Structure 1
Amino acid sequence: MTKCFAPFLSGRTALVTGGGGPLGRAFSAALAGAGARVVLVGRNAEALASGASLVEEAGGTARTARCDVSDPASVAALAAELAGEDISVLVNNAGVAGPVKPLVDIEPGEWDDVFAANVRGVYLVCRAFLPAMITAGRGDIVNVASVSGKRPLLNRTPYTASKMALIGLTRTLAGEVGPLGISVNTLSPGPVRGPRMARNFRLEAELTGSTVEGAERAFASRSALGRLVEQPEVAQALLAVLAMPGLCGADIDLSAGMIAPA
Structure 2
Amino acid sequence: MVTGTDSGEHAGTEDLADRTAVVTGAGTGLGRAIAARLVRSGARVIAVGRRPAPLEELAAVHPGAVLPAPCDVSSPEDVTALAERLRDEDVSILVNNAGIGGPVADLVDIDPEEWDEVFAVNVRGTFLMCRALLPGMMRRGAGDIINLASVSGKRPLEGRTPYCASKMAVLGLTSTLAFEAGRGGVRVNALSPGPVESERMEHNYRAEARRRGITPEEARQAFVGRAALGRMVTPEEVAGAVHSILGMPGMTGADVDLSAGMVA
TM range (shorter): over 0.9
1:25 is matched with which residue?
32
Aligned: 1:121 with 2:128 = no
CA gap of 1:214–1:185, structure 2 versus 1, over 3 A, is: same
Rounded Cα–Cα distance in structure 2 between residues aligned with 1:78 and 1:248: 26
Is the 1:150–1:164 contact (alpha carbons within 8 Å) kept by the matching residues of 2? yes
Rounded Cα–Cα distance in structure 1 between residues aligned with 2:254 and 2:12: 21
2:202 is matched with which residue?
198
Report the number of matched residues. Answer: 257
Rounded Cα–Cα distance in structure 1 between residues aligned with 2:59 and 2:97: 16
Q: CA deviation at 1:53?
A: 2.5
1:1-262 paired onto structure 2 within 5 Å: 1=8, 3=10, 6-56=13-63, 61-260=65-264
Alignment root-mean-square deviation, CA: 1.1
SS of alignment partner, residue 85 of structure 1: coil
Give 4+ residue runs of structure 1 displaced > 4 Å after superposition.
none
Is the 2:12–2:42 contact (alpha carbons within 8 Å) kept by the matching residues of 1? no
Please, what TM-score do these two structures have when normalized by structure 1? 0.96
Q: CA deviation at 1:234?
A: 0.6
Rounded Cα–Cα distance in structure 1 between residues aligned with 2:97 and 2:69: 15
Q: CA deviation at 1:2?
A: 6.8
Q: CA deviation at 1:89?
A: 0.3
Kindly provide the CA deviation profile for residues 169-212 of structure 1, in whole angstroms up to 9, marking residues without a partner as x.
00000011112100000010100001110110010011111111
Unaligned runs of 5+ in 1: none
Q: CA deviation at 1:231?
A: 0.9
Rounded Cα–Cα distance in structure 1 between residues aligned with 2:27 and 2:119: 20
Kindly provide the CA deviation profile for residues 203-237 of structure 1, in whole angstroms up to 9, marking residues without a partner as x.
00111111111110111101101111111111111
SS of alignment partner, residue 99 of structure 1: coil
Unaligned runs of 5+ in 2: 1-7
SS of alignment partner, residue 180 of structure 1: coil
Is the 1:2–1:236 contact (alpha carbons within 8 Å) kept by the matching residues of 2? no
Q: CA deviation at 1:51?
A: 2.1
Is the 1:147–1:189 contact (alpha carbons within 8 Å) kept by the matching residues of 2? yes
